[in-house]
Amino acid sequence: EIVMTQSPATLSVSPGEGATLSCRASQSVSSNLAWYQQKPGQAPRLFIYGASTRATGVPARFSGSGSGTEFTLTISSLQSEDFAVYYCQQYNNWPGTFGQGTKVEIK
Amino acid sequence: EVQLVESGGGLVKPGESLRLSCAASGFTFSSAWMSWVRQVPGKGLEWVGRIKSKASGGTSDHAAPVKGRFTISRDDSKDTLYLQMNSLKTEDTAIYYCATTRVVSGAMSMLYDDWGQGTPVTVSS
Protein backbone atom coordinates (compact mmCIF):
# COMPACT_ATOMS: atom_id res chain seq x y z
CA GLU A 1 0.00 0.00 0.00
CA ILE A 2 1.32 3.42 -0.96
CA VAL A 3 1.81 5.81 1.96
CA MET A 4 1.02 9.47 1.33
CA THR A 5 2.79 11.98 3.57
CA GLN A 6 1.63 15.59 3.74
CA SER A 7 3.56 18.52 5.12
CA PRO A 8 3.28 20.62 7.08
CA ALA A 9 0.52 19.31 9.36
CA THR A 10 -0.60 22.88 10.02
CA LEU A 11 0.09 26.02 8.02
CA SER A 12 -0.65 29.43 9.53
CA VAL A 13 -1.21 32.06 6.87
CA SER A 14 -2.56 35.60 6.82
CA PRO A 15 -5.39 36.39 4.39
CA GLY A 16 -4.00 37.59 1.09
CA GLU A 17 -0.78 35.65 1.48
CA GLY A 18 0.16 32.60 -0.54
CA ALA A 19 0.47 29.04 0.71
CA THR A 20 2.27 25.92 -0.49
CA LEU A 21 1.20 22.46 0.64
CA SER A 22 3.27 19.36 -0.04
CA CYS A 23 2.35 15.73 -0.58
CA ARG A 24 4.85 12.92 -1.00
CA ALA A 25 4.14 9.36 -2.14
CA SER A 26 6.15 6.37 -0.93
CA GLN A 27 6.47 5.25 -4.55
CA SER A 28 5.62 6.75 -7.91
CA VAL A 29 1.94 7.45 -8.58
CA SER A 30 2.53 9.08 -11.96
CA SER A 31 0.10 12.03 -12.18
CA ASN A 32 -2.77 10.13 -10.56
CA LEU A 33 -3.02 12.46 -7.60
CA ALA A 34 -6.06 14.33 -6.29
CA TRP A 35 -6.51 17.07 -3.69
CA TYR A 36 -9.64 17.48 -1.57
CA GLN A 37 -10.71 20.41 0.58
CA GLN A 38 -12.64 19.79 3.78
CA LYS A 39 -14.18 22.46 5.99
CA PRO A 40 -15.32 21.78 9.58
CA GLY A 41 -18.52 19.75 9.69
CA GLN A 42 -18.56 19.28 5.93
CA ALA A 43 -17.73 16.49 3.53
CA PRO A 44 -14.53 16.58 1.50
CA ARG A 45 -14.76 18.28 -1.87
CA LEU A 46 -12.71 17.29 -4.89
CA PHE A 47 -10.45 20.22 -5.79
CA ILE A 48 -7.68 18.97 -8.06
CA TYR A 49 -7.22 15.75 -10.03
CA GLY A 50 -4.61 14.53 -12.44
CA ALA A 51 -2.18 16.43 -10.20
CA SER A 52 -3.00 19.76 -11.85
CA THR A 53 -6.57 19.88 -13.22
CA ARG A 54 -8.98 21.99 -11.20
CA ALA A 55 -12.40 20.48 -10.57
CA THR A 56 -15.51 22.38 -11.60
CA GLY A 57 -15.94 25.62 -9.70
CA VAL A 58 -12.48 25.70 -8.11
CA PRO A 59 -10.98 29.19 -8.30
CA ALA A 60 -7.92 29.81 -10.43
CA ARG A 61 -5.90 30.85 -7.36
CA PHE A 62 -5.54 27.12 -6.65
CA SER A 63 -2.94 25.26 -8.68
CA GLY A 64 -1.52 21.78 -8.45
CA SER A 65 1.78 20.49 -9.73
CA GLY A 66 4.12 17.53 -9.57
CA SER A 67 4.38 13.96 -10.75
CA GLY A 68 5.94 10.75 -9.57
CA THR A 69 6.37 11.09 -5.82
CA GLU A 70 6.37 14.85 -5.14
CA PHE A 71 3.29 17.05 -5.42
CA THR A 72 2.36 20.58 -4.47
CA LEU A 73 -0.87 22.48 -3.99
CA THR A 74 -0.39 26.22 -4.21
CA ILE A 75 -2.89 28.85 -3.17
CA SER A 76 -1.82 32.19 -4.59
CA SER A 77 -3.71 34.58 -2.30
CA LEU A 78 -5.70 33.08 0.53
CA GLN A 79 -9.30 34.13 0.93
CA SER A 80 -11.37 33.56 4.06
CA GLU A 81 -13.16 30.60 2.46
CA ASP A 82 -9.86 28.81 1.78
CA PHE A 83 -9.06 28.09 5.43
CA ALA A 84 -9.70 24.38 5.67
CA VAL A 85 -7.98 21.00 5.70
CA TYR A 86 -6.55 19.72 2.43
CA TYR A 87 -6.00 16.04 1.74
CA CYS A 88 -4.06 14.48 -1.11
CA GLN A 89 -5.02 11.07 -2.49
CA GLN A 90 -3.23 8.78 -4.91
CA TYR A 91 -5.38 6.67 -7.18
CA ASN A 92 -2.60 5.17 -9.27
CA ASN A 93 -2.28 1.97 -7.23
CA TRP A 94 -4.80 -0.24 -5.49
CA PRO A 95 -6.16 0.70 -3.03
CA GLY A 96 -6.20 4.43 -3.34
CA THR A 97 -4.76 6.06 -0.24
CA PHE A 98 -5.06 9.46 1.40
CA GLY A 99 -2.57 11.64 3.20
CA GLN A 100 -3.24 12.77 6.77
CA GLY A 101 -4.07 16.29 5.71
CA THR A 102 -2.70 19.81 6.05
CA LYS A 103 -4.73 22.28 8.01
CA VAL A 104 -4.53 25.83 6.66
CA GLU A 105 -5.42 28.18 9.47
CA ILE A 106 -5.64 31.93 9.86
CA LYS A 107 -2.50 33.50 11.26
CA GLU B 1 -27.31 19.00 -8.89
CA VAL B 2 -25.86 15.82 -7.43
CA GLN B 3 -27.24 14.99 -3.99
CA LEU B 4 -26.15 12.14 -1.77
CA VAL B 5 -27.88 11.70 1.58
CA GLU B 6 -26.59 9.09 4.01
CA SER B 7 -28.59 7.64 6.86
CA GLY B 8 -28.58 4.72 9.26
CA GLY B 9 -25.66 5.62 11.49
CA GLY B 10 -25.84 5.38 15.25
CA LEU B 11 -24.42 3.92 18.45
CA VAL B 12 -23.96 0.16 18.60
CA LYS B 13 -22.03 -2.30 20.74
CA PRO B 14 -19.05 -4.32 19.50
CA GLY B 15 -20.20 -7.36 17.56
CA GLU B 16 -23.49 -5.80 16.51
CA SER B 17 -24.64 -4.90 12.99
CA LEU B 18 -25.76 -1.75 11.21
CA ARG B 19 -26.93 -0.93 7.69
CA LEU B 20 -26.15 2.42 6.16
CA SER B 21 -28.08 3.87 3.22
CA CYS B 22 -27.20 6.57 0.72
CA ALA B 23 -30.05 8.08 -1.30
CA ALA B 24 -28.86 9.56 -4.60
CA SER B 25 -30.42 12.14 -6.89
CA GLY B 26 -29.45 14.59 -9.60
CA PHE B 27 -27.59 12.06 -11.76
CA THR B 28 -28.09 8.68 -13.38
CA PHE B 29 -27.41 6.50 -10.36
CA SER B 30 -27.59 3.22 -12.27
CA SER B 31 -24.64 4.30 -14.44
CA ALA B 32 -22.48 5.41 -11.54
CA TRP B 33 -19.76 3.59 -9.70
CA MET B 34 -20.17 4.30 -6.01
CA SER B 35 -17.99 4.07 -2.92
CA TRP B 36 -18.06 4.35 0.84
CA VAL B 37 -15.23 6.29 2.48
CA ARG B 38 -14.89 6.72 6.23
CA GLN B 39 -13.19 9.24 8.47
CA VAL B 40 -12.31 8.83 12.10
CA PRO B 41 -13.14 12.21 13.70
CA GLY B 42 -10.09 14.44 13.60
CA LYS B 43 -8.22 11.93 11.45
CA GLY B 44 -7.74 11.12 7.79
CA LEU B 45 -9.85 9.39 5.17
CA GLU B 46 -10.03 5.68 4.40
CA TRP B 47 -11.71 3.94 1.48
CA VAL B 48 -14.12 1.23 2.66
CA GLY B 49 -15.68 -0.28 -0.45
CA ARG B 50 -16.70 0.27 -4.02
CA ILE B 51 -19.40 -1.12 -6.28
CA LYS B 52 -19.41 -0.88 -10.05
CA SER B 53 -22.45 -0.08 -12.14
CA LYS B 54 -24.45 -3.07 -13.44
CA ALA B 55 -23.25 -2.22 -16.93
CA SER B 56 -19.66 -2.64 -15.72
CA GLY B 57 -20.43 -5.93 -14.02
CA GLY B 58 -21.90 -4.73 -10.73
CA THR B 59 -19.07 -6.25 -8.71
CA SER B 60 -17.84 -4.90 -5.40
CA ASP B 61 -14.53 -4.61 -3.60
CA HIS B 62 -13.84 -3.96 0.05
CA ALA B 63 -10.86 -2.67 1.99
CA ALA B 64 -8.81 -5.23 3.90
CA PRO B 65 -9.87 -4.01 7.41
CA VAL B 66 -13.56 -4.61 6.62
CA LYS B 67 -13.41 -7.54 4.20
CA GLY B 68 -15.68 -10.36 5.31
CA ARG B 69 -17.58 -8.09 7.70
CA PHE B 70 -18.92 -5.27 5.49
CA THR B 71 -20.86 -5.61 2.25
CA ILE B 72 -21.59 -2.82 -0.19
CA SER B 73 -24.67 -3.19 -2.41
CA ARG B 74 -26.99 -1.10 -4.53
CA ASP B 75 -30.64 -0.91 -5.54
CA ASP B 76 -30.84 0.97 -8.82
CA SER B 77 -34.65 0.92 -8.73
CA LYS B 78 -34.45 3.04 -5.58
CA ASP B 79 -31.31 5.03 -6.49
CA THR B 80 -29.84 3.87 -3.21
CA LEU B 81 -26.46 2.59 -2.08
CA TYR B 82 -26.08 0.43 1.02
CA LEU B 83 -23.35 -0.65 3.40
CA GLN B 84 -24.15 -3.66 5.58
CA MET B 85 -21.78 -3.68 8.52
CA ASN B 86 -21.57 -6.85 10.63
CA SER B 87 -19.34 -7.81 13.57
CA LEU B 88 -18.60 -4.17 14.25
CA LYS B 89 -15.43 -3.28 16.14
CA THR B 90 -14.53 -0.17 18.12
CA GLU B 91 -12.08 0.75 15.39
CA ASP B 92 -14.96 1.05 12.92
CA THR B 93 -16.09 4.19 14.73
CA ALA B 94 -16.08 6.93 12.09
CA ILE B 95 -18.16 9.15 9.88
CA TYR B 96 -19.18 7.20 6.79
CA TYR B 97 -19.51 9.03 3.48
CA CYS B 98 -20.88 7.77 0.21
CA ALA B 99 -19.31 9.20 -2.91
CA THR B 100 -19.58 9.01 -6.67
CA THR B 101 -16.54 7.26 -7.99
CA ARG B 102 -14.48 7.82 -11.10
CA VAL B 103 -11.88 5.57 -12.63
CA VAL B 104 -9.25 7.22 -14.77
CA SER B 105 -7.66 5.46 -17.71
CA GLY B 106 -4.25 4.17 -16.71
CA ALA B 107 -4.97 4.26 -12.97
CA MET B 108 -5.66 1.21 -10.82
CA SER B 109 -7.81 2.97 -8.26
CA MET B 110 -10.39 5.73 -8.26
CA LEU B 111 -11.18 9.26 -7.15
CA TYR B 112 -14.32 10.68 -5.65
CA ASP B 113 -16.24 13.47 -7.35
CA ASP B 114 -19.26 14.10 -5.14
CA TRP B 115 -19.78 13.30 -1.47
CA GLY B 116 -22.71 13.09 0.89
CA GLN B 117 -22.71 14.85 4.25
CA GLY B 118 -21.86 11.63 6.08
CA THR B 119 -23.48 9.57 8.80
CA PRO B 120 -21.69 8.89 12.11
CA VAL B 121 -21.18 5.39 13.43
CA THR B 122 -20.04 4.83 17.00
CA VAL B 123 -19.09 1.36 18.21
CA SER B 124 -18.74 1.28 21.97
CA SER B 125 -19.66 -0.96 24.86
pLDDT in tens, B78-97: 999 999 999 999 999 999 99
Cβ contacts of A34 on chain B, cutoff 8 Å: 111-112
Instruction: Write the residue in A36, A92, A95 that is nearest to B47 by C-beta.
Output: A95
| pLDDT, tens digit (0-9, with 9 covering 90-100), for A11-52 | 999 999 999 999 999 999 999 999 999 999 999 999 999 999
Average the pLDDT over B120-125 and give the result. Answer: 97
- Say yes or no to pLDDT of B108 above 90: no
Instruction: Write the residue in B46, B47, B111 that is nearest to A34 by C-beta.
Output: B111
SS3 B65: helix
Q: Enumerate residues 6+ apart whose C-beta is below 8 A from B102.
A: B33, B110, B111, B112, B113
- Say yes or no to pLDDT of B13 above 90: yes
- Say yes or no to pLDDT of B17 above 90: yes
Cβ contacts of A100 on chain B, cutoff 8 Å: 43-44
Q: In this complex, is the C-beta atom of A90 within 8 Å of any C-beta atom belonging to chain B?
A: yes
Cβ contacts of B112 on chain A, cutoff 8 Å: 34, 36, 44, 46
Question: How many CB atoms are located within 10 Å of the residue A39 CB?
Answer: 13
Residue B43 pLDDT class (50, 70, 90 cuts): confident
SS3 A106: strand
Cβ of A94 within 8 Å of Cβ of B109? The answer is yes
- Rounded to an integer, what distance in angstroms lies between the CA atom of residue A43 and that of residue B115? 6
What confidence score (pLDDT) does residue B41 get? 83
Cβ contacts of A36 on chain B, cutoff 8 Å: 45, 112
Average the pLDDT over B51-77 and give the result. Answer: 97
- Say yes or no to pLDDT of B107 above 90: no
Contact B93, B121 (CB under 8 A): yes
What confidence score (pLDDT) does residue B30 get? 97
- Rounded to an integer, what distance in angstroms lies between the CA atom of residue B36 and that of residue B20? 10
- The residues with which A62 forms a beta bridge, in sequence order, are A75
- Give percent above pLDDT 70 in chain B: 100
Cβ of A49 within 8 Å of Cβ of B45? The answer is no
Contact A61, A77 (CB under 8 A): yes
Contact B102, B112 (CB under 8 A): yes
Give the minimum alpha-carbon distance from B40 to chain A in angstroms, rounded to a whole number: 11
- Say yes or no to pLDDT of A66 above 90: yes
- Say yes or no to pLDDT of B42 above 90: no
Cβ of A44 within 8 Å of Cβ of B45? The answer is yes
- Say yes or no to pLDDT of B104 above 90: no
Cβ of A49 within 8 Å of Cβ of B97? The answer is no
| pLDDT, tens digit (0-9, with 9 covering 90-100), for A71-91 | 999 999 999 999 999 999 999
Please, what is the Cα angle at B93 between B89 and B94, to 5 degrees?
A: 145
Q: In this complex, is the C-beta atom of B57 within 8 Å of any C-beta atom belonging to chain A?
A: no
Please, what is the Cα angle at A62 between A59 and A67, to 5 degrees?
A: 135
